[in-house]
Structure 1
Amino acid sequence: MNNLRFRIFISIIILLVVGLAAITILFNYGLDRYFSDYQMQEEAANINRLERQLIDIYDNEGEEAVYDHIEQFARINQLEYIADPGNGHMDHHDMMDNRRMSSGGGRRMMQLFEEADLSQGYHIIINERDFGVLIWPERDGQPAIYSEIAEQTANFRNEINRFILPLGMVLVFAGGLISFWLSRKLAMPVNKLADEVGKLGEGNYEIEVPEKLSGELRSLGLAIKSLAGRLKYLEKIRRESAADFSHELRTPLHNLKSTVEALEDGILELNAENLESINEEVDRITNLTGQLTELVELEKKLTDVNIETVDGNEYFNELLNFYVKKAENEEINYNYEVFAGLDRISLDRQAVEIILNNLITNAFKYTEAGGRVDVRVNLIDDNLRLEVEDTGIGIPEEEKDLIFERFYRTDRSRSRETGGSGLGLAITREIVAALGGDIFLEDSDKGSNFVVMLPQ
């Protein structure tokens, strides 16, 4: 898990470095773009102010004062000024530029400046009078203003980067400390969980979830603990089932072997009675192996759920009617009732058949001749309710929590006579759970009353 801690630490550092690099690149790109635009707008505003001043000078002091002011502006800003001593009239292109300038106010004039080809100079026009051209000196084959703006932008960017670089290093260092602490904090509970999971490989199913765990890690820990409990249960069942089936097989095999040896030694005669005894023991062995095959088939259903919409009234009446003949043969008073409102319900046909078959045949086994078995099917609070009640031997209060365990039998001697192995209720509970439902015992005056609730 130290490897996990190292990976978390390195991942956070890489994210910090990549994030800072991306921010720096984007910042420099935006700075180049917007700072250059800002300086151009400032230059345009400067020209705009000049033209407003020239209008006032022209109105108050005349043309000569305008020329003088432009020359002074050119000297201060290191520009070249070429006065146009022509007749004072503008051509068509100049007239259009003037209309755009005079009708749009300061913002229009700034846009005109930004759109102007400064390599040809910038015309100054006052009241339809052309006062010449301001020309920026060239540098590197273009007007110096562009080079100056680029240079100022680069200087400003470098100043910012000189500030960003140490700041970034400080942030990476601080992030490294935080990531070291965070990776340790994240890895420690994972290490503890890994240690607990390691116990499973050693056959120790006593998993402890650290109390300090929270959120998803606690959910994971509880899930692992639940899995450990399930594995412990399955291991217990594996051992008990092996012992149980070994015991169940030992008796008929011993009886069969004894009978065959007695026949070989001449102690018993080879007659119909002894052959019938052998046949009974073979039947018992065949029945046990059949139960093992049935167990495998039933467990397949736990992962093979097929929900469909059916007509519940037709389905349950046909299904429950199947047990009428069996009840008559065993002299049991069997009744079933399918309530109205089940015309469209969602269920797994095969799973429901297995559930009802296990409960009904179990009720028949533990109900004496002349007893009663009632089956009721109803829809209550968006749940399909299956109820199987009998007047059989019942279940003692202290055993009600155990009847759903595999190979548990309330009456072991009678179960052997009827072929029961203690698997029916355990498999039924697991199938019900796979369907998202619940199975439980309700109080009954005599016998047992099993209830299954399946969500709709």
Structure 2
Amino acid sequence: MRLNIRYRLFFALLAASALVALGMLLIVQWSLDRGFLQYVNTLDTERLERLAVELEERYDESGDWAFLREDPGNFHRLVLLTGPERAYSPEQLERLERRLQRHRDRPQGGGEGRRLDAQRFDQRLVLLDGQKRLLHGPEKFPGGLTFRELYHRRQIVGYLGLVPRKDLADANQLRFVREQQWAMLLIAALAVVVSALLAFPLARRLARPIHTLATATRRLAAGDFTVRTPAERGDELGQLARDFNSLALALEKNEEARRRWVADISHELRTPLAVLRGEIEALQDGIRQAGPETFASLHGEVLRLGRLVEDLYQLALSDVGALSYRKNSESLVELLEQTLATARSEFARKGIALRFEAHPADVTLFADGARLGQLFVNLLDNSRNYTDAGGELVVRLEREAGWAVIHFQDSAPGVPEDELERLFERLYRVESSRNRNSGGAGLGLSICRNIVEAHGGTISAQASPLGGVWITVRLPLEEVAQ
């Protein structure tokens, strides 16, 4: 069965919590076993110190160890008095005395009865006299045992040692450790249960925006570019939602541009085709007679249709990067002068003054001269077509920090401020009522932008101080372009 991301997150969080709880349980159990054993040995060490003080006092009273050799029970009494039993009542001490007496009356032969309990405090004690002869304890005790020296009048009279515990064997101690282990196990199980209760809503909360994004992505793939996702979160999922919304918005704009592009192309093609159809039908019906004027009209419409198709073809090649560029060192001043010289007659025919300024007089670019010529022709045609008669166009060349800057400033009419940025959109014309006689199809400036960007430059439009449009082209100089 395939699990969705909600349950995968749930099991991942639950597994992580269970592993943490299990690790904490093992570490705490190890620490408890080791720490509790150290604690018990520490208590035994403190008890050993109290016993050493009692032995030193008894030795001071008797002057030797005869009180232990004559009656070994005295040693057991001192052990009882210095241990936890020292708070016993006289009646309890009397019962303990009887138990010691029964212990002394047992047979001293071998066998199980002679085996010592390695966990009992008194049977882990080793007492030696000043000559390190055994007074109490097993005849064989572990090597490396640490002894506490016993003093009488600043002289060593004995040694008292204790074999440390290796593990716990006391019933009360073991019961305490087991109770703690069960408590820790219960706490770990409770932690896992609480983690499960918290992991499920957390996993659902984390999976909700992912599910929302997945649903929105399916709608986007189906062509619904208006879909948006909530982006209130401040984490990576919120950023992903914002990126998705940006993508949907870009696709929506591209779809709108595509539809507008198809509609505009259809409109641009329909106009010359309609004129051609009307002219031909008029000839067929005998309304017009074939003659030079008729053929000139037909030829003009065919030329307009050819220019439109050629513009569309050039723009399509430019969009896909298929326009060929043969770059060489080119003199920008010479290119501009040649292009302006060709266009002066047409500007003069319309009554528009054309002026050129170059500062400095020589600027070299690493560029395709033919494409730059196409760029300048399109810009000049745009100014000539949309500048009123009696106006002027000023072309100025400057050099700025590794860039060649060409300014095209024409006179009225101008373009509204909010429409300046759209001048370089394909098939865009400021006045939709303009026909092909007064302007173009709106593709020239789009081709200009692609040519400039192919040379690593920029092109922009703003209001001209002469009352028209100010187009600025920035191209990298030869040393920068290479």
TM-score category (smaller protein): 0.5 to 0.7
Which residue is 1:447 aligned to? Answer: 468
2:30 pairs with 1:29: yes
Deviations 1:96-131 (A, max 9, x none): xxxxxxxxxxxxxxxxxxxxx846765453345353
CA distance in 1 between counterparts of 2:471 and 2:160 reads 105
Aligned to 1:288, what secondary structure does the other structure show?
Answer: helix
Aligned to 1:394, what secondary structure does the other structure show?
Answer: coil
CA distance in 2 between counterparts of 1:176 and 1:125 reads 59
Mean CA deviation greater in 167-176 or 222-231: 167-176
Aligned to 1:395, what secondary structure does the other structure show?
Answer: coil
1:71–1:81 CA contact under 8 A, matched in 2: no
Kindly provide the amino acid, as one letter, of the partner of residue 33 in structure 2. D
Kindly provide the amino acid, as one letter, of the partner of residue 327 in structure 1. L
Deviations 1:220-274 (A, max 9, x none): 3332222222111211222233344455556778899999999xxxx689xx999
2:318 to 294, 297, 304: 294
Shift of 1:283: 6.1
Shift of 1:166: 2.4
Which residue is 1:174 aligned to? Answer: 194
CA distance in 2 between counterparts of 1:6 and 1:453 reads 57
Aligned to 1:203, what secondary structure does the other structure show?
Answer: coil
2:156 pairs with 1:129: yes
1:367 to 383, 399, 404: 383
Structure 1 pair 229–217 and aligned structure 2 pair: CA distance change class (3 A):
same
Tell me which protein shows more helix as a share of its residues. 1
Structure 1 pair 71–132 and aligned structure 2 pair: CA distance change class (3 A):
farther
2:207 pairs with 1:196: no
Deviations 1:198-233 (A, max 9, x none): 332332222344375554444333322222221112
Kindly provide the amino acid, as one letter, of the partner of residue 131 in structure 1. G
CA distance in 2 between counterparts of 1:442 and 1:55 reads 111
CA distance in 2 between counterparts of 1:298 and 1:275 reads 33
Which residue is 2:123 aligned to? Answer: 79
Aligned to 2:212, what secondary structure does the other structure show?
Answer: helix
Kindly provide the amino acid, as one letter, of the partner of residue 448 in structure 1. V
Structure 1 pair 426–330 and aligned structure 2 pair: CA distance change class (3 A):
closer
Deviations 1:5-43 (A, max 9, x none): 222222222221111112112222333333333433333
Structure 1 pair 299–31 and aligned structure 2 pair: CA distance change class (3 A):
farther
Overall identity of the aligned pairs, in %: 21
Q: Which consecutive unaligned segments of at least 5 residues does structure 1 have?
A: 92-116, 137-142, 301-314, 339-348
2:35 pairs with 1:19: no
Deviations 1:336-389 (A, max 9, x none): 558xxxxxxxxxx99xx9x9999866542322395212355657xxx9996744
Which residue is 1:304 aligned to? Answer: none
Mean CA deviation greater in 197-206 or 11-20: 197-206
* Larger CA Rg, structure 1 vs 2: 2
CA distance in 2 between counterparts of 1:299 and 1:60 reads 118
Which residue is 1:413 aligned to? Answer: 436
CA distance in 2 between counterparts of 1:420 and 1:235 reads 19
Shift of 1:73: 4.6
2:65 pairs with 1:64: yes
Which residue is 2:92 aligned to? Answer: none
Paired residues for 1:32-431 under 5 Å: 32-55=33-56, 58=59, 62-64=63-65, 67=68, 72-73=77-78, 77-79=121-123, 84=128, 88-89=130-131, 118=142, 123-127=147-151, 129=156, 131=158, 134=161, 145-148=165-168, 155-210=175-230, 213-248=233-268, 285-297=309-321, 322-331=335-344, 332-335=354-357, 363-368=379-384, 371-375=393-397, 378=400, 388-391=407-410, 393-397=413-417, 399-400=419-420, 402-410=422-430, 413=436, 420-421=443-444, 423-424=446-447
Shift of 1:162: 1.1
Shift of 1:299: 11
1:429–1:438 CA contact under 8 A, matched in 2: yes
2:355–2:394 CA contact under 8 A, matched in 1: yes
Mean CA deviation greater in 36-45 or 55-64: 55-64
Aligned to 1:371, what secondary structure does the other structure show?
Answer: strand
Structure 1 pair 255–237 and aligned structure 2 pair: CA distance change class (3 A):
same
Kindly provide the amino acid, as one letter, of the partner of residue 249 in structure 2. G
Shift of 1:178: 2.1
Structure 1 pair 190–447 and aligned structure 2 pair: CA distance change class (3 A):
same
Give the TM-score normalised by the residue count of structure 1: 0.62
2:414–2:463 CA contact under 8 A, matched in 1: no
